[in-house]
Amino acid sequence: MRYYDTPRQCSVTELADEVGRAKSTISETLHRTERKLIKEHVDTSRVADERPARTSL
């Protein structure tokens, strides 16, 4: 998806046109999905930090 290329290769408007949806729908969907991914990553990182360190015998 060109939207996530660096540098970005298309705008939200271009992406919306490409998939045949409203710009507001695409923007909201991207924000909601990004927020969910970040939350899952942070939650997973916290769980990993809370596990006791393994010691070698």
Q: What is the pTM of this model?
A: 0.69
Task: Please give the residue range of the domain that contains residue 39.
Answer: 2-49
Is 10 a member of any domain?
yes
Is 56 a member of any domain?
no
Distance of CA 37 to the CA centre of its chain: 5
Is 57 a member of any domain?
no
Number of domains forming the structure of the chain: 1
Identify whether the C-beta of residue 19 lies closer than 8 Å to the C-beta of residue 26.
Answer: yes
Q: In whole angstroms, what is the distance from residue 30 CA to residue 19 CA? A: 13
Tens of pLDDT, residue by residue over 5-56, are 999 999 999 999 999 999 999 999 999 999 999 999 988 877 766 666 666 6
pLDDT of residue 46: 74
pLDDT of residue 20: 97
User: Amino acid identity of 7?
Assistant: P
Is 35 a member of any domain?
yes
pLDDT of residue 6: 94
What spatial distance separates the first Cα and last Cα of the chain, rounded to whole Å?
47
